[in-house]
A and B are shown apart, each in its own frame.
Chain A
């Protein structure tokens, strides 16, 4: 069988996303200050992470900004080894979902812990960060527990 023929395009498509953030700018500014702000719907009480300006549950646009403490427990996680092209330069990373104290769940990278040490239910904290190239982001870090040893007697 002959080798299949193909025609290669001589034009490259670059895609850059420009997302409008006027109505949730407090979140983005807050991350730079090391704080995580979310929106709470005044009508139905639902907390949204990431924050939204319009409640998907009840349709209200009456939102209140709340600062998240960030503490939570891991519900599920996975390690990404085969990465999408734009992440190919990263080392293998862990993505986790944790249920936070405030009742809302968040999905973020879990850093500062080896894959084999991750446990369901482990306590983590969602923290704001600024990357080396100046982008704001957030991630889970393990919450240090002080262990109290109970002596046998």
Chain B
């Protein structure tokens, strides 16, 4: 019994400690959802298009970007387009804008097109994926709940774009 309590409390302590490294006071938490409702209206190419600058409220995120990217002033801004990733519900394709090695903008050129449900799922998922991409500055992102195919396709296209960019 004493061991059980010890195991439980140390696990919880470990969890809280780990999470505390990643938690940020939500200032711009709703950016994703707002963008989602906004982009739900548009369909097809270019429906979700966000710039990284909008998320400076995340202290850790900003630090991470700063650390990862360290973009020199006047670094060439370039655009790379990922390959089309086919999913069960249609194609996914992203286009990145990079300043030096840092991703400043993600544009979704093509997204799944399997009817209204597809639209709805993408509308809420894509902003989250983009947010996370800008935060993590890589394709190492979690799948969005309920949008696993979209997430997987997005990730593949994103990875191919990053590969091309040499990031």
Decide whether A and B are members of one complex: no
